[in-house]
Chains A and B, each alone.
Chain A
Amino acid sequence: MSEHKNHISSYKSQIVVLLTLIVLTVLTVTITSVHLGPFNTAAAMLIASVKATIVLLYFMHLKFDEKIYRFMVTLVLAIYAVVIIITFFDYLYRP
């Protein structure tokens, strides 16, 4: 087992991440007033995914951890994405 090194993030990076998350939250709310049909859901989920990715990378230190963990998390998120896309094959094509 390899020695685990703790990464200490700077205040600056923490604040940048926080501001980005706030901006994206505002964007999530704003976009609901734009009529995109079924793509409203897609847009909301896309923004949510970007936010989740930022949290995972910076707040949960995935960016500074071993590659294998990034690979595992990416794979899991990819599976969820495929599951959601397949579900939408029902909703988008339903008569």
Chain B
Amino acid sequence: MTGNSSTHRLPSYLEYQGKYTGIRSWILSTDHKRIALLYLYSQIFFFLAGLVMGLFMKLELIAPGQQIMGPQAYNALFTVHGLTMIFLFIIPGLAASFGNFMIPIMIGAKDVAFPKLNLFSWYLFIAGAVIILVGIFSGDGPPDTGWTFYAPYSLKTNTNVVLSVFGAFVLGFSSILTGLNFIVTIHRMRAPGMGFFRMPLFIWSLYGTAWIQLLATPVVGITFLMVVADRLLDIGFFDPAKGGDPVLYQHLFWIYSHPAVYIMILPAMGAITEIIVTFSRRTVFGYKAIAMSSLAIAFVGYLVWGHHMFTSGMSETARLIFSFLTFLVAIPSAIKVFNWTATMYKGSISLEPPFWWAMAFIFIFMIGGLTGLILGSVSTDVHVHDTMFVVAHFHYIVFGGAGIAFFAALHYWYPKMFGKMYNKKIANWGLIGLFVGFNTTYLPMFFLGFMGMPRRYYDYLPQFADLNLLSTVGSWVMATSLLLVIVNLLRAKKGTPEEMDNPWGGRTLEWTIESPPSLENFEEIPVIDREPYELKSK
């Protein structure tokens, strides 16, 4: 492969002086790397906001009875916590930030296919966030429906549902346009010689994700508009008294929102694959199997939404079909985990922070995945439905899976993005604290769920007190560790630039260019003549 020579350096994308300076050089930039950082900073900001809300919820649950807030405030808090974490942090997730930064570089292109559309997507993202924020602080108070906006309650409540739903609708457009941009970029802008089966596996995962974004998001967009129409025009799509059906809302909502879990987790799996391959110093085991499993997850994940509705009055036939299809998703997910393990087998493993983060991901994601089978099976789901068990499973997948992978990717690509290295010791200690704190917070919830504690209540029976106290203490450990991790990364950003072109010995294209990359990534578009993870060039 012909890459860039590092004998002379062009100004990096961070130093490049274009038409604009200061803040305008960021918010008017169409460079995919700057847009990626706009997403990254916005997402981390929203994540911290969601974290604070989560901490308040855990504080309320430290003991039975009312502690720091009443039922209405608690309902609003878990709704806004969910909205923030899901729509503003983890759905844009790794795709919007790391996908934007890495897709053009990893496929040997200078930018995405539609750079202006890319910037517009970020504006839509911010516009959606602002609308949700206005919804929280105006009208009759923040929504109290839960992030799912289930009808008929979302049609009846006096809280400010319309603005929040509309904000989520706008965010959906951002997601659709990003997906469209990525699909066209991957199809049209790969470097000469880079066939589909020479693409890095992170790109395969983003390709699957982009299709879900493009195909599933419009469904929820229309559903949200139907809620708005029901509330404002009293049409009755979801009102049985007017010939509507509340279960239809759940169908439409989950037709998007289950695939949305794969929007969150697929890029996470892709980043984990990159990390494991790099730090195992081996070629990837089962390249095609991992690539195809991304598409299989995207496809089968589209057909399993009904497992969220086993107790909502759906027909027996539908419940059995959804349960069966749900079990099918486990197969491509397991293919990935087995291939990661096989890649590490007899590898010359280098124990750097990103690798430890990846290991934490696998451990936690496995617990999340296996407890998902309990919820995917009709008979067992009936017992734990709407209990703390669901909360635990969900956080093991979404935070423990996609969230930890987000930080794993950040530690992996940080030197590439900023040309600097963080303190590795602190990164490791941060992870250890997070791992302990995470499990102390969420593991007790599995037991609480089995014992019958329902979710979404500000109060509980005295027999649940000990485990709730443990969980709250865990949340403090987790939050402190997260702050440690973030401060460590922020401090590193202020440090002096070092030679960081390829600190991990990575073999994909991003490691052949300088860190941080120049404005157009490559002086010359590279010609690809090898597999993505080959140890030595031919």
Contact = CB atoms under 8 A, between A and B. Distances in A.
Nearest to B317: A93
A93 B316 contact: yes
Nearest to B319: A90
Contact residues on B (Cβ < 8 Å of other chain), bracket: 10 to 19
Contacts of A92: 315, 317
A90 B254 CA distance: 14
Contact of B215 (A1, A79, A93): A79
Given A86-B303, A86-B306, A86-B321, A94 B215 contact: no
A26 interface: no
Interface string B293-328: 000000100110010000001111110011000000
A92 B317 CA distance: 9
B213 to A, nearest CB: 13
A79 B302 CA distance: 8
B251 interface: yes
Interface in A36-95: 76, 79-80, 82-83, 86-87, 89-95
Given A1-B188, A76-B215, A83-B255, A90 B302 contact: no
Given A1-B188, A90-B251, A82 B315 contact: no
B117 interface: no
Contacts of A79: 215, 299, 302
A21 to B, nearest CB: 23
Contacts of A93: 315-318
B247 interface: yes
Contact residues on A (Cβ < 8 Å of other chain), bracket: 10 to 19
A80 B255 CA distance: 10
Chain B interface SS verdict (over half): helix
B299 A90 contact: no
Nearest to B325: A86
Contacts of B302: 79, 83
Interface string B89-106: 000000000000000000
A76 to B, nearest CB: 6
B251 A87 contact: yes
A83 B318 contact: no
Contacts of B314: 90, 94
Contact of B315 (A1, A76, A83, A90): A90
B247 A90 contact: yes
A1 B255 CA distance: 35
Nearest to A68: B187
Nearest to B322: A86
Interface of B: 188, 215, 247, 251, 255, 299, 302-303, 306, 313-318, 321-322
30 contacts: A1-B188, A76-B215, A79-B299, A79-B302, A80-B215, A83-B255, A83-B302, A83-B303, A86-B303, A86-B318, A86-B322, A87-B251, A87-B255, A89-B315, A89-B317, A89-B318, A90-B306, A90-B314, A90-B315, A90-B317, A91-B315, A92-B315, A92-B317, A93-B315, A93-B316, A93-B318, A94-B313, A94-B314, A94-B315, A95-B315
7 smallest CB-CB distances across A and B, nearest first, come from A93-B315, A90-B318, A93-B317, A94-B315, A89-B318, A90-B314, A90-B315
